[in-house]
Amino acid sequence: SDYSQEPPRHPSLQINSKEPFNAEPKRSALIASYVTPSDFFYKRNHGPIPIVEDIDRYCVVIAGLVGQSKQLFMNDIRKLPKYNVTATLQCAGNRRTAMSKTRTVKGVGWDVSAIGNAVWGGAKLADVLELVGIPKLTSVTQFGGKHVEFVSIDRCKEENGGPYKASIPLSQAANPEADVLLAYEMNGETLNRDHGYPLRVIVPGVIGARSVKWLEAINIIAEECQGFFMQKDYKMFPPSVNWDNIDWSTRRPQMDFPVQCVICSLEDVSTVKPGKVKISGYAATGGGRGIERVDVSVDGGKTWMEASRFQKKDIHYISDDPNSEKWAWVLFEITADILHSTEIIAKAVDSAGNVQPEKVEDIWNLRGILNTSWHRIQVQASH
């Protein structure tokens, strides 16, 4: 594998792995704006960044359980109606480093910033599938039934030098309301190489691993994709499962991400001057459910206050769809009096009433995914 032609990256990123390049911004960068600039958007790769030189010849092949397979060139995709969808992408491994402090887990270490919120511009997958005779669907069944597989141009060692791939249910792919995109723009600009140039999938509300970058082919298949990242990774196991007794086939690939909430205005540990302290961060949930509430405690969880939430503040790209913010995070903010050293905690509730687990120990899993435990910051009050 050749890492000699990687794109330039912002020097402020914290690099968790150089080859493949995995990096996240400082947590303070995430609350500087509702839409995360692509420079400060986490980068999660499993191999070298591919190079697509001749954009006129670049095409996506749609094949599998379709009458006739079809080649789609960029021009064909741009001819379809263009949608801008604001969607939060979160790696299932976000906050993994904190999970490994309880017990070691396997995987790239991430602090709290393997997440970002962008405005993705492109064609709806439902419109693309219609071109090969697949009718639009209006209900989503999460498991069982046909799947739509996305195959990338990149090469990774987990696939023994083959391409990264993943799939989602056809019922989601062909449902225009699910807002699954083939995106060629990020935040109003041409998608850059790190984020999937020239074309990537965006599956809103689902863990980042299913949003395949550098798309090469779309296959309609009878059941879910058998690739490494669907079958041998990104599955949630109970705390009793270890590397000696693991049976990957007993669990389903993770799809929706659960409710998550992180304080970004303070590092852990922070020193503050006694008095008013601003506490802000992000909260997000999967499946388009939306955040109902963010609770903040400044006394280690004895008492709670509700934070204020906002979206959209700095959106410049007006979305066609008034409902599209449902895939996006909310930023929250509250000012509290902090007079003594203490533990600050944030936790969110989504519109289905889902809450976050109190302790990371209770959700420990050997791959270190989905750490959505209450986010805690130790603060020392000092003059």
Token digits for 266? 């303070």
Helices marked H in 51-174: 74-79, 96-100, 125-130, 170-173
The secondary structure of residue 13, as a DSSP letter, is S
Residue in the block written with tokens 């007794």: 245
Q: Smaller CB distance to ligand MTE: residue 89 or 360?
A: 89
Per-residue x/- marks for Mo ion, 1-40, CB under 5 A? ----------------------------------------
* Cβ closest to ligand MTE, residue 237 vs residue 338: 237
Size of site (CB under 5 A) for Mo ion: 4
For residues 103 and 363, the answer to whether their CB atoms sit within 8 Å is no
Antiparallel, parallel or unpaired: β 375-381 and 270-272 = parallel
Which residue's CB is nearer to ligand MTE, number 6 or number 358? 6
State the minimum distance, in angstroms, from the CB of residue 121 to ligand MTE: 14
Least gap, CB of 208 to Mo ion (angstroms): 4
Q: Which is nearer to Mo ion, 62 or 191 (CB)?
A: 191
| CB of 194 or CB of 295, closer to ligand MTE | 194
Our finding on whether 208 is near Mo ion (CB under 5 A) is yes
Residue 212's binding partner among ligand MTE, Mo ion, none (Cβ under 5 to 8 angstroms by kind) is ligand MTE
Minimum CB–partner distance for residue 224 and Mo ion (Å): 17
Yes or no: say if 326 and 335 are a contact pair by the CB < 8 Å rule. Answer: no
Residue 169 interacting partner from Mo ion, ligand MTE, none (CB closer than 5 to 8 Å by kind):
none
Choosing from 13, 60, 85, 91, the residue that interacts with Mo ion (CB under 5 A) is 91
Least separation in angstroms between CB 124 and ligand MTE: 19
Taking every pair of C-alpha atoms in the chain, what is the biggest distance, in angstroms? 72
The two structure tokens encoding residue 350: 């989504």
Nearer to ligand MTE, 212 or 330 (CB): 212
Work out how close the CB of 154 gets to ligand MTE at its nearest, in angstroms, rounded to a whole number: 5
Which of ligand MTE, Mo ion, none sits in contact with 213, Cβ below 5 to 8 A by type? ligand MTE
Site for Mo ion in 36-55 (CB under 5 A): 44
Signed CA dihedral, 160, 43, 225, 130: sign only: negative
Q: In the complex, what is the shortest distance from the CB of residue 207 to ligand MTE, in angstroms, rounded to a whole number? A: 7
The residue type found at 327 is W
Question: Closest approach of Cβ 44 to Mo ion, in Å?
Answer: 5
Q: Report the distance separating Cα 332 and Cα 306, nearest Å.
A: 9
Measured CA to CA, the distance from residue 20 to residue 226 in angstroms comes to: 23
Nearest-angstrom CA–CA distance, 132 and 204: 23
> Which is nearer to Mo ion, 254 or 297 (by Cβ)?
254
**Interacting residue with Mo ion among 49, 112, 209, 241 (CB under 5 A):** 209
Residues with Cβ within 8 Å of residue 245, at least 6 apart in sequence: none
Angle among Cα 131, 322, 117 to the nearest 5 degrees reads 85
Comparison of 116 and 288: residue with beta carbon closer to Mo ion: 116
Write down the least CB distance from residue 208 to ligand MTE, Å: 3
Distance between CA atoms of 36 and 78, rounded to whole angstroms? 24
Quote the tokens at residue 301: 């969880």
Are 280 and 264 in contact by the 8 Å Cβ rule? The answer is: yes
- Using CA atoms, how far residue 73 sits from 58, 70, 126, 185, 358, in Å, is 6, 10, 17, 16, 49
Contact footprint for ligand MTE (CB under 6 A): 41-46, 89, 91, 152, 154, 164, 195, 208-209, 211-214
Q: Report the partner that residue 150 touches, choosing among ligand MTE, Mo ion, none (CB closer than 5 to 8 A by kind).
A: none
Chain residues that interact with Mo ion, rule: CB under 5 A: 44, 91, 208-209
